[in-house]
């Protein structure tokens, strides 16, 4: 299981060319790719996207390319004969018109703007795509090494917090029955104080206790939290990307904790439930970084 945060770098050399590929990733709901690349690689963006999609499922990824030519690149010189002829004709016309010596030499003609143009051999798109594909694969591999290390830290932290939640749930299980017995005792005491020796209608009394018991009953919430804990541990033991699934599951954790808080009529139980919510919130923050 990987984190969505990491950095990967790869350098590929081929036939006097060097390509440096750098990848930087942060958390994102989907696989979102941003490229900062030289113009010559714009036609190769499909190579970048397909390469990243093979190794990554989620995260915002910035792609940086730095391309250099390490060998001497063959160059050719092209002559614009039409332009050269034009300059020569112009020189002859100036001589005839003004009667001056024509000292327009070959060297001067070669230095004249745009007569000679140096052309560099165009880059082979096939070689660029091969280098880019290899560079992306190696950079993704390096990126995932870091993401895996970060992911293990996240999983260890989440697992520890799941253990804390299980411990808090055990305390809730112990405290929940006490709520009803305390309410029963307090209700009896208040009725005795108010009625001052008048016989209490036992049926009405038991009905009131039963109503309160039903209102504050959290057995279903406890059962669902037990199920969620088991499910969370199963997900954490998986090698597949589980960020989205765990994110949804944590929402269910939070829903049950909120219900327990709303049903609580006991200070101790409320305090435990609030601590439970705090642990769930910390897990939710960590889950945002899981792939």
Q: What is the pLDDT of residue 122?
A: 65
pLDDT of 137 > 70? The answer is yes
Cα-only R_g, the chain: 38
Residue 172 or 73, more confident: 172
Q: Is the pLDDT at 32 greater than 70, yes or no? A: yes
CB 290 within 8 A of CB 1: yes
Long-range contacts of 226-235 (CB under 8 A, 24+ apart): 226/169, 228/252, 228/253, 228/256, 229/162, 229/165, 229/166, 229/169, 232/158, 232/162, 233/159, 233/162
Encode pLDDT of 252-281 as tens digits: 999 999 988 877 777 788 889 899 999 999
What's the token pair of residue 202? 């036992």
- Compute the half-sphere exposure of residue 97: CA atoms within 13 Å on the CB side of its CA: 6
Q: How sure is the predictor about 194, in pLDDT bands with cuts at 50, 70 and 90?
A: very low
The whole-angstrom separation of Cα 56 and Cα 52 is 6
DSSP reduced 3-state for 61: strand
Inform me whether the pLDDT recorded for 42 exceeds 60: yes
Contacts 24+ apart (CB under 8 A), 258-261: 259/218, 259/221, 260/172, 260/218, 260/221
Directed axis angle between helix 243-263 and helix 267-287, to 10°?
Answer: 170
Q: Which residues contact 205 (CB under 8 A, 6 or more apart)?
A: 187, 188, 191
pLDDT the model gives residue 239? 80
Q: Two tokens at 227?
A: 């199920």
Between residues 183 and 32, which one has the greater pLDDT? Answer: 32
Look up residue 289 and give its DSSP letter: T
Q: Contact 250/284 with Cβ under 8 angstroms? A: yes
Whole-number percent of the chain with pLDDT over 70: 84
Q: What is the pLDDT of residue 115?
A: 87
């Amino acid at each position: 299981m990987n984190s969505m945060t990491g950095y990967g770098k790869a350098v590929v050399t081929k036939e006097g060319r060097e390509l440096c590929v750098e990848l930087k990733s942060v958390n994102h709901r989907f696989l979102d790719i941003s490229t900062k690349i030289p113009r010559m690689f714009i036609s190769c963006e499909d190579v970048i996207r397909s390469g990243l999609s093979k190794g990554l499922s989620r995260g915002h990824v910035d792609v940086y390319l730095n391309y250099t030519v390490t060998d001497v690149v063959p160059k050719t010189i092209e002559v614009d004969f039409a332009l050269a002829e034009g300059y020569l004709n112009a020189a002859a016309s100036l001589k005839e018109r003004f009667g001056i010596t024509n000292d327009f030499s070959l060297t001067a003609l070669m230095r004249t703007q745009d007569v000679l143009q140096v052309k560099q051999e165009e880059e082979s798109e096939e070689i660029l795509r091969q280098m880019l594909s290899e560079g992306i694969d190696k950079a993704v591999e390096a990126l995932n090494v870091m993401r895996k290390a970060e992911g293990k830290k996240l999983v260890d932290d989440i697992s520890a917090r799941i253990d804390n939640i299980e411990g808090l749930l055990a305390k809730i299980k112990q405290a929940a029955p006490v709520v009803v017995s305390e309410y029963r005792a307090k209700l009896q005491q208040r009725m005795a104080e108010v009625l001052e020796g008048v016989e209490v209608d036992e049926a009405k009394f038991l009905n009131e206790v039963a109503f309160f018991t039903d209102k504050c009953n959290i057995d279903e919430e406890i059962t669902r939290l037990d199920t969620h804990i088991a499910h969370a541990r199963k997900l954490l033991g998986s090698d597949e990307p589980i960020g989205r699934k765990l994110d949804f599951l944590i929402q269910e954790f939070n829903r049950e904790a909120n219900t327990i808080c709303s049903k609580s009529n006991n200070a101790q139980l409320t305090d435990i439930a609030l601590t439970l919510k705090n642990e769930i919130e910390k897990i939710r923050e960590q889950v945002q970084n899981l792939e």
